[in-house]
Amino acid sequence: MFSQLVMLGSSGMLLTALIVLWRKHVPAYISAYRLQVWLLAGVTATVGYFASDWRLFAVAFVLVVLKAIAIPALLRTMLRRFGAQPEVRPYVNTETSLLIAGLLVLFAYVLARPWMAVTDLPTRDALPIAMGLLFVSLFVIVSRRKAITQVIGFLMLENAIALLAAVGTYGVPLLVELGVFLDALMGFLVMQIFVYQIHETFDTIDVEQLTRLRH
Amino acid sequence: MTVDRSAAFLFMIAGYVAGAIVALIAPSDRIARGATAIGAASGSVAGLVTALAVLATGDRFELVRPDMIAVAGGVAIQLDSLGALFLALVCSVGLFAAVYGFTYTADYDGRRSLRFFGLMFNAFLLGMSLVPCAANVFTFLFAWELMAVASYFLVMTEHESSDARAAGLWYAAMTHFGFVLLLPMFLIMAPAAGATAFVDLRAGASALPPAARSTVFALALAAFGSKAGVVPLHVWLPRAHPAAPSHVSALMSGVMIKLGVYGLLRVTSDFLGTGPAWWGGLVLAVGSLSALGGVLYALTENDLKRLLAYSSVENVGVIFLGIGAALVLQSYGLPALAMVGFGAALLHTVNHACFKTLLFLAAGNVLRGARTRNMEQMGGLIKGMPVTAMAFLIGSAAAAALPPLNGFASEWMVFQALLSGAQIAKPEVAIGSPLAVGVLALTSGLAAATFVKAFGISFLAMPRSDAAAAAREPHWSAWTALGAFAAATVVLGLFAPSAIAAMYRIVESVTATPRNVTGGGGIWLLSAHGVAAVSPLLIAVLVASVAFVAFASIRARGFDVRVADTWGCGRIRQTARMEYTSSAFAEPLRRIFSELYRPTEDFSVSVHPEARLIIRSITYTTRIVPWIEKALYEPVTRGARAIAASVRRLQAGSVHLYLLYIAAALMAALASAWWFE
């Protein structure tokens, strides 16, 4: 029951990341992200319930407040500022993107094999999925042009790491967790400032324009 | 008189540090300049007191703090008389350079960061002062790098000129080349891990097998030779010295390159002791190359400061000739004769520091007055700047080794050391030693020609540009430095016998050989066995009395003086364009040594379009090709460029590509876990 619930949540998180690869509109990304955070909070709470660790409930609560409510709200503000700029021409088209994402998940399974051999946690089946989510988020950052898409990719990368921590070691000490939250929030705010600056300078949030900065 | 030497030493450090910090936080440029000068001057005075106290008593001064930066072996200071001599040099040049710099850098007010300059100037002096005091590897390397880094920034003071930037790059590359060789040199000598005090190295070096000793020697020669600027490692010197502000050039040329000599002496004659004869032979060869190469390039140079820089290469060559002769003599078991070589090298080190500082500071005055370094645009400066001209003349005469000035005394002693090679009945010495004597003789002659040109073209005849005609003396405070070094040049020349005796005492304390050479009998400068003797003081008296008699007899007989124009060969008007130019002066020698210079010549005549016989202008351009430099360094720079260009392709400017690098690196790191399965 425990491992099935965790698998369900993790797979859902991976699916929400794949949404970013085939949808083109930023509002869809934001809802995908919010959904992913809810799922992450669910997985964390499940682990907390079965491992009877009250601290994971606290983490799940902070996750919901910070990442499912505050950050999506900030993202919407950004969206209002720039208008809906769809991800028109990503570096890699949708079909290839999905193919690559599949390969990355496969690669994650291969990578996680030695790791899975040495643990006997009930959650260990979710480990390759968490790593796959990590790779897919990285791929989103690398292959998309709009700064806002990249920010969402980064946020999903954060989620992947949080998921890895929850299923791999039943969460890290609360202090570290809080540090990570603060880190993520600060990182997000800095990126927000950058996106505003890029928009102001180049009148677009297409990151490719930054190539012009070299000399 | 007793001096608390550790208090003086700490005051020296405090002076430099305070100068650096106050200059950095100064509210105005003027205060920054003042703080720079006061900090550097007070630090230098304290350092000079420390050095003189050690030199006077001859016993060492020690200050060991193993708890400071204990990871690297702690800070260890030990000042023996050899170190004290170099510390005294650094501090005396530093003192006057600081005074001179106060008005010299006024030109930079508002245009350049004088705060940063003050920080670096004091850091440079601190580094140079600590090098001869260091008594373990960490302290030495720290001081060495502080000196190198600070002087790099000083060279880059006028960083908007591409020449200065290129000079900085060359300097940085060469100084790091030297540093890279220093590390293995020290490591080979260290007898055990962690034993990095110089005492341990001395013990370790004596236990080394001969091959390792020779490796240490070769590394020391290359590492310290690159700092001293010997051919072929001299490339940075004629670039960096002219680019720096003049008082910094004086410090670099007068003292910093001498610390290379210090390092070489410390490692060879102190740590390693007597070695095989080829060590000395190699040093002689390097010295001959530098002496001859330096003076030949100086001769054709039209840039006043570059000329002086090349002359420094020459003089370092002369110093190396003395050291080389000493090493050869030492290896054949003639310590008394070797003493003459070491003493002559040390004396020339001191003497060159005096007259080269004098020349660079005078050149700084010229630069301020005439606003150019190109001698072809100077001329007639003696009218506007008589004091500077006089100082430059004294410096030039010393550099040309004219008696009774100090350059003469030490070069004569180097000659004596080289001639002692005749005492060794070996074919290689019998060939090598006269060759070295010949090289030194040729060098002295060419140096005389070089400085006749430098003084004559710059200061005599008619001004070749409006700026040269308008040149005036700078603020009087610039004269104190000139006066001090001119006096030192003269005094060290007249009383050279006492000076060489002092050098012998220092050599004796380092090499621990008994002193059985007499430094000089009163006023006589003697060779090792007293075969040859010369007295600079008597020469001076002779010259002075001849001049006095001539002058007095003219006055007594009352020649009537008629003031009129010189006969102008029928020319109506004399212009500066009719004057002997700097290039023309060097032309005959350029032809003789054309194989070395390989001059490129470009001759173009532009004629009137209607009548071909009417010539509008003739342009003649010639430049010399430093082919040795090209042959040695071009492959290296080309290789470095090729590597840099291929690495640069990684930096494409695309954020996505950079993110891809990160992702790829992460995946590679994760995949590497397979290996540890």
Confidence label for A62 from pLDDT (cuts 50, 70 and 90):
confident
**Which residue, chain included where needed, has tokens 């030693």?**
B433
Asked if the Cβ–Cβ distance from A138 to B666 is below 8 Å, we say yes
User: How many CB atoms sit inside 10 A of residue B208's CB?
Assistant: 17
Bridge partners, residue B225, by sequence: none
CA neighbor of B532 nearest in space, from B410, B416, B417: B416
- Report d(CA B333, CA A87) in Å as an integer: 86
Asked if A210 contacts B653 with a C-beta cutoff of 8 angstroms, the reply is yes
Confidence label for B449 from pLDDT (cuts 50, 70 and 90):
very high
**B132 Cβ partners below 8 Å, 6+ apart?**
B79, B82, B83, B84, B85, B86, B87, B90, B259, B262
Residue A163 distance to chain B (closest CA, Å):
17
Element (H, E) at A108: helix A94-118
B360: which 2 tokens?
A: 């660079």
A213 touches chain B (CB under 8 A): yes
Element (H, E) at B65: strand B61-65
CA B583 to chain centre: 25
- Report d(CA B36, CA B20) in Å as an integer: 7
Return the pLDDT at B677. Answer: 58
**B594 Cβ partners below 8 Å, 6+ apart?**
none
A212: which 2 tokens?
A: 């012009």
Specify burial of residue B467 (Cβ count, 10 A radius: 0-12, 13-18, 19+). Answer: middle
Asked if the Cβ–Cβ distance from B671 to A111 is below 8 Å, we say yes
Residues of chain B with pLDDT > 70, as a percent, come to: 98
Return the pLDDT at B224. Answer: 96
Asked if the Cβ–Cβ distance from B652 to A135 is below 8 Å, we say no
HSE of B668, CA atoms in CB hemisphere, 13 A: 6
Question: What would the mean pLDDT of B597-623 be, rounded to a whole number?
Answer: 84
Q: How far is CA B437 from CA B259, B321, B417, B422, B427, in A?
A: 25, 9, 10, 11, 16
Question: What would the mean pLDDT of B27-51 be, rounded to a whole number?
Answer: 93
CA angle B91-B92-B97, nearest 5°? 95
Asked if the Cβ–Cβ distance from A210 to B654 is below 8 Å, we say yes
Return the pLDDT at B518. Answer: 57
Q: How far is CA B179 from CA A82, B127, B513, in A?
A: 55, 15, 31
Name the percent of chain A in helix, strand, coil, to the closest 5. Answer: 85, 0, 15
Asked if B14 contacts B64 with a C-beta cutoff of 8 angstroms, the reply is no
Sign for the pseudo-dihedral over CA of B117, B119, B122, B126: negative
A113 touches chain B (CB under 8 A): no
Q: Where are the domains of chain A?
A: 2-213
Q: What tens digit of pLDDT does each residue of B172-192 get?
A: 999 999 999 999 999 888 877
B183: which 2 tokens?
A: 């590390």
Question: What would the mean pLDDT of B289-297 be, rounded to a whole number?
Answer: 94
B677 touches chain A (CB under 8 A): yes
CA neighbor of A36 nearest in space, from A169, A133, A101: A133
Element (H, E) at A177: helix A174-202
- Report d(CA A88, CA A68) in Å as an integer: 26
Residue A209 distance to chain B (closest CA, Å):
9
Return the pLDDT at B79. Answer: 92
CA neighbor of A30 nearest in space, from A66, A58, A62, A71: A71
**B572 Cβ partners below 8 Å, 6+ apart?**
none
Give the CA dihedral B363, B369, B373, B379, nearest 10 degrees: -90
Question: What would the mean pLDDT of B199-220 be, rounded to a whole number?
Answer: 90
CA angle A131-A134-A140, nearest 5°? 145
Task: Return the minimum-mean-pLDDT range out of A93-102, A105-114, B351-360, B609-618.
Answer: B609-618
Question: What would the mean pLDDT of B287-313 be, rounded to a whole number?
Answer: 94
A118 touches chain B (CB under 8 A): no
B663 touches chain A (CB under 8 A): yes
Question: What would the mean pLDDT of A44-52 be, rounded to a whole number?
Answer: 88
Return the pLDDT at B411. Answer: 93
* Better-predicted residue by pLDDT, B573 or B292: B292
Of A107, A142, A212, Cβ closest to residue B659: A142
Q: What tens digit of pLDDT does each residue of B388-399 get?
A: 999 999 999 999
* Structure letter (DSSP) for residue A64: I
* Structure letter (DSSP) for residue B134: B
Compare all CA atoms of chain A with the CA of B677 and give the residue at the minimum distance: A114
Start-to-end Cα distance in chain A: 58
Q: Where are the alpha helices (DSSP H) in B26-67?
A: 29-57
Strand positions, DSSP E, B510-633: 520-521, 524-526, 533-534, 600-607, 615-623
Asked if the Cβ–Cβ distance from A214 to B651 is below 8 Å, we say yes
Longest pairwise C-alpha distance within chain B: 109
Return the pLDDT at B111. Answer: 75
CA neighbor of B454 nearest in space, from B406, B391, B407, B410: B391
Q: How far is CA B191 from CA B195, B198, B434, in A?
A: 7, 11, 40
B135: which 2 tokens?
A: 């008594």
Contacts of B658 in chain A (CB under 8 A): none
Return the pLDDT at B516. Answer: 59
- pLDDT at residue B357 greater than cutoff 70: yes
Bridge partners, residue B75, by sequence: B65
- Report d(CA A30, CA B602) in Å as an integer: 72
Q: What tens digit of pLDDT does each residue of B639-650 get?
A: 999 999 998 888
Return the pLDDT at A214. Answer: 67
Sign for the pseudo-dihedral over CA of B659, B660, B663, B668: negative
- pLDDT at residue B519 greater than cutoff 60: no
Asked if B365 contacts B395 with a C-beta cutoff of 8 angstroms, the reply is no
Asked if B410 contacts B354 with a C-beta cutoff of 8 angstroms, the reply is no
Q: What tens digit of pLDDT does each residue of B339-351 get?
A: 889 999 999 999 9
- pLDDT at residue B625 greater than cutoff 60: yes
Question: What would the mean pLDDT of B529-556 be, rounded to a whole number?
Answer: 87
Q: How far is CA B482 from CA B79, B456, B548, in A?
A: 29, 19, 26
The radius of gyration computed from the CA coordinates of chain B, to the nearest angstrom, equals 27
Question: What would the mean pLDDT of B127-135 be, rounded to a whole number?
Answer: 95
- Report d(CA B334, CA B252) in Å as an integer: 35
Q: How far is CA B29 from CA B102, B106, B112, B138, B368, in A?
A: 11, 8, 9, 35, 19
Q: Mutate which of B659, B660, B661, B672 to disrupt the A interface (most A C-beta within 10 Å)?
A: B659
Asked if the Cβ–Cβ distance from A139 to B663 is below 8 Å, we say yes
B148: which 2 tokens?
A: 């190198």
